[in-house]
Amino acid sequence: MSPALGRVLVIAPHPDDEVLGCGGTMARVAAQGGEVHVAVVTRGCPPAFTEEMTQRVRGEATAAHTYLGVRQTHWLDLPAAQIAETPHTTLNTALQTLLREVMPDTLLIPFVGDVHMDHQLIFLSSLVAARPVQAQYPRTIMAYETVSETNWNAPYVTPSFVPNVFMDIEATLARKLEAASMFASQIKAFPHERSIETLRALAIVRGTAVHLRAAEAFVLLRNVI
């Protein structure tokens, strides 16, 4: 296991959120011999998404995860963009079952202030699943930022992403960007936020905030020492 984070589980509302938010961290943990798991909570369902579209992005995610060194990808297959219409107990139970299976030391989850409702509800259910009333629970929980979701919140109305943990990803930034480029159906041309140039620029901004060349930023929610 990675000495700093232990076994890591990344909760991704949709395929590519995990790479955009913490692909560099995932690559760093894996390179250090750590165990990284990714749970993709939703899948695209008709009529909004065709089966061909869904299988394409799933294939892209599988390739990206393999490249980053992910130990296992868990597909929960709840309906994308319909989490608000899904019974909350269904989402809670799916995540609780997953946490009992993986038993992560560190949980990385989307930020509660993200503009996408799927992200907000998955944040809440992740905290429910990780409640410290169980024999085994994640000692560390951090929220990551997702370009085009975290930064489009309503200032002073919804929570703002103010990071207090920075992961040095100078050595793994190139791997993150290469993994992101594998999502050919999702990555856009600059100056779109979901572009390779934007991801590189954000990593530099987050890094220079703490005198690093490149970093990923997180909000620490719990840390049991």
Task: Give every residue of the chain whose pLDDT is below 70, as ranges.
Answer: 1-3
Which contiguous run of DSSP H or E holds residue 222?
A: strand 215-223
Structure tokens at 219: 């909000």
64 within 8 A of 30, measured Cβ to Cβ? no
Q: Would you say the C-alpha torsion 109, 202, 60, 22 has a positive or negative sign?
A: negative
Cα separation, 83 vs 41, whole angstroms: 10
Candidates 9, 20, 148, 140; CA nearest to 70 is 9
Rounded to the nearest 5 percent, the helix, strand and coil shares of the chain are 40, 20, 40
Distance CA 182, CA 166 (A): 25
Q: What confidence score (pLDDT) does residue 2 get?
A: 55
- CA pair distance 185, 146, nearest whole angstrom: 17
pLDDT value at residue 48: 85
Q: What domains, with CATH codes, occur in the chain?
A: 8-223 (3.40.50.10320)
The confidence score (pLDDT) of residue 3 equals: 65
Residue 1: per-residue pLDDT = 44
**Looking at residue 155, what is its pLDDT?**
87
Residue 140 region by backbone torsions, left for phi larger than 0, else alpha for psi between -120 and 50, else beta: beta
| CB neighbour list of residue 206: distance below 8 Å, 6 or more residues apart | 163, 166, 214, 215, 216, 217
Strand partners, 2: 6
Say if CB 80 and CB 118 are below 8 A apart. yes
Per residue in 58-116, pLDDT tens? Answer: 999 999 999 999 999 999 999 999 999 999 999 999 999 999 999 999 999 999 999 99
At 141 the pLDDT is 98
**Is it true that the peptide bond before 191 is cis, omega within 30 degrees of 0?**
yes
Is the entire prediction scored with pTM above 0.95? yes
Distance CA 200, CA 213 (A): 11
